[in-house]
Amino acid sequence: MNPIKHVAIIMDGNGRWGIKHKNSRNAGHRAGLNSVKSIINECLKINIRYLTLYTFSTENWKRPKKEINFLFSLLENFLTNKIDNLIKRNIKLKFIGEINKLPLKLKKLIKNSETKTSKNTSLQVNVALNYGSKNELINSIKTINKKKIKINENNIDKNLFTKNIIDPDILIRTGNTQRLSNFMLWQLAYTEIFFEKKLWPDFKSNDFKKILSKFKSIKRNFGSI
């Protein structure tokens, strides 16, 4: 049986769900938070160590400004109002991506939330925000060159946004789309990938448990026979 230590999720379909049910993409982003809460609860129940959520990509800046502002305000409200609950539940928050390019208020809330939850040990939730895997790899190699050390697999690993985080065992992408969309291209080399037809707000704990169950029966060779 395969142990599950790290699950990564591309939470696709919020906008489409919002248009379909509420005639508003933003309503879908709000509804998607319920699925986030549900999956966090399941991870805590079964002692998964890491959960990585693809929240906002470097390509998402192409979206309408109104939608971007709503997404950031949603995250700001969450970090303001839910941080005490995360601390109580022993959840650590870690943000990965080019955080320095985000609005000042959001950057301050991110730093505050990471500091306040830094000693928590039950579950680490990695929020991929303004994240793009190609940029991450370029930044890693630039850092290696500055340090004047060898470019090898180990040093690239150590200089990624995900340094000190084990690679995902499972990647789930909801929304009936089968692509990686510039997400963790290096880290997913041997990850088992599950594409889910349901839109993210419709993805529930039972759907999550079904995928975990399938994963446990997979024979993982990591390149061997």
With 0-12 / 13-18 / 19 or more C-beta atoms within 10 angstroms meaning exposed / middle / buried, residue 112 is middle
In angstroms, rounded to a whole number, what is the distance separating the alpha carbons of residues 11 and 173?
A: 6
Q: Which of 60, 112, 120, 155 is catalytic?
A: 60
60 belongs to the catalytic site: yes
E strands of 18-117, at which residues? Answer: 50-57, 91-96
In angstroms, rounded to a whole number, what is the distance separating the alpha carbons of residues 180 and 178?
A: 7
167 belongs to the catalytic site: no
With 0-12 / 13-18 / 19 or more C-beta atoms within 10 angstroms meaning exposed / middle / buried, residue 61 is exposed
∠ Cα 31 35 39 (to 5°): 165
Q: Are 58 and 132 in contact (CB under 8 A)?
A: yes
With 0-12 / 13-18 / 19 or more C-beta atoms within 10 angstroms meaning exposed / middle / buried, residue 59 is exposed
Cα 56 to its chain centre, rounded Å, is 9
Query: Taking each helix axis from N to C terminus, what angle separates 14-22 and 25-45, rounded to the nearest 10 degrees?
Result: 120
Q: Which tokens belong to 24?
A: 């508003």
Q: Which of 12, 14, 26, 169 is catalytic?
A: 12
H/E stretch holding 153 reads helix 153-158
Give the residue numbers marked as catalytic.
12, 60
